[in-house]
Amino acid sequence: MSETVQHTTPIIEGRNLAKRFGGKKGLFHSSPTVYAVNDVSIAVWPGETFAIVGESGCGKSTLARLLLRLIEPSDGDVLYQGKDITKLSASDMRSLRSEMQIIFQDPFASLNPRMTVGSIIAEPIRLHGLAKGKAVDDRVAELLRIVGLRPEYADRYPHEFSGGQRQRIGVARALAGQPKLIIGDEPVSALDVSIQAQVINLLEDLKEQFGLTLIIVAHDLAVIRHMSDRVAVMYLGEVVELSPVDPLYEKPLHPYTQTLLDAIPVPVPGHREKRSLARGDVPSPTNPPPGCRFHTRCPFALQKCREVHPPLEDVGGGRFVACHLWREIQEQDHPSAPLDGTSPKLAERLEIYRSYQSAKEKNSPVG
């Protein structure tokens, strides 16, 4: 993991981004509005690895696509290197496309089965006019070598490769456009655990080698811990916590982040997997609850959490959290002191909540 260097201009920034799908009322068919992303603001600095995590359906992929302008926002703006690209024309956007690439979760579905690996990788090179004639083949061979594959594989088809190899081909295709920013949308979720580490190592190496910025979308916190500089935790279309990686794991501030951390399996023989802190299921994004969106599942929800939407507050140390409980504890612990977010009392309080929870689990039948 490289140290996060804060530049004055983020490489990519989303300001108050929102995306709503559906909501069409027809004579014979109506579709409810899906609130996929709601008022999300994030800024990613050049050279960092930024992770977006949350359970399935929380809006991670939609946010990633909004940042790349693969889909249009319902509200908000996207800035690339400080320039508003929200309303850029298709042709102006095309020249930027090579600088921003995406790697998909399913390497098989994202590679055209009728094209050879060579032509898949050559496509962006030709499209962006980065090489011509024989130089394209040389570049394809070079890219295959860079991602750890043999250059002669260029003549083969995607089905001839294993999942890990296919993802390497996806990485080579992403690199072909000479990007500055790569978004990996669950880039290793479909791979065997033993292969996951290899692909993650490859991405980290390439990041160093080519000075890339990485945005990694993941549904669990285990995968991204060792490669990320900062993490945005999403729940039902919103960022509930944003933090440098180590403090997030050491002292999660939002109860939902704790839930995600509790879901990481502990590799100890005979260890009984902890039951999740959160109760029940994620509500539908067509009808998100009022107040804090997590309140229906949060064991610590206050009355205020049911009624008032918590703002994402600056905790200090690059941390942000949207949680009334956190605010309440701060106010009790430091009635007049500045907020620093590292209050030992807060950690203690949350620790008490955690032990209370595990004691409850021990006394109740395992469901």
Ligand X SMILES: Nc1ncnc2c1ncn2[C@@H]1O[C@H](COP(=O)(O)OP(=O)(O)OP(=O)(O)O)[C@@H](O)[C@H]1O
Min dist. Cβ of residue 186 to ligand X (A)? 6
Q: How far is the CB of 173 from ligand X (least distance, A)?
A: 21
Beta bridge partners of 232: 52, 242
Place of tokens 């032509």: 119
Q: How far is the CB of 253 from ligand X (least distance, A)?
A: 21
Q: How far is the CB of 26 from ligand X (least distance, A)?
A: 15
* CB closer to ligand X out of 26 and 335: 26
On whether the CB atoms of residues 231 and 51 are closer than 8 A, the answer is yes
The burial of 359, by beta-carbon neighbours within 10 Å (0-12 exposed, 13-18 middle, 19 or more buried), is given as exposed
Separation of first and last alpha carbons in the chain: 39
Backbone angles phi and psi of 259, in degrees to 5? -60, -45
Pairwise CA distance, residues 153 & 166, whole Å: 11
- 328 Cβ contact list (under 8 Å, min separation 6): 302
Considering the complex, state which of residue 59 and residue 124 has its C-beta at the smaller distance from ligand X. 59
Nearer to ligand X, 52 or 85 (CB): 52
**Residue with Cβ nearer ligand X (20 or 349):** 20
Q: For residues 45 and 104, which CB has a smaller minimum distance to ligand X in the complex?
A: 104
Give the count of alpha carbons within 13 A of 136, CB side only.
19
| Least distance (Å) between residue 89 CB and ligand X | 23
| Contact set with ligand X (CB under 6 A) | 21-22, 34, 36, 54, 56-62, 219, 285
Q: Across the strands, what pairs with 217?
A: 52, 185
Closer CB to ligand X, 176 or 231, in the complex: 231
Cα separation, 269 vs 165, in Å, equals 32
Of 36 and 263, nearer to ligand X (C-beta) is 36
The tokens describing 98, both together, are: 């090579």
Beta carbon of residue 328, minimum distance to ligand X (angstroms, whole number) = 29
Cα-based angle 364, 366, 254 (whole degrees, multiple of 5): 80
- Residue 340: CB partners within 8 Å, gap ≥ 6? 315, 316, 317
Rounded to a whole number of angstroms, the minimum distance from the CB of residue 53 to ligand X is 9
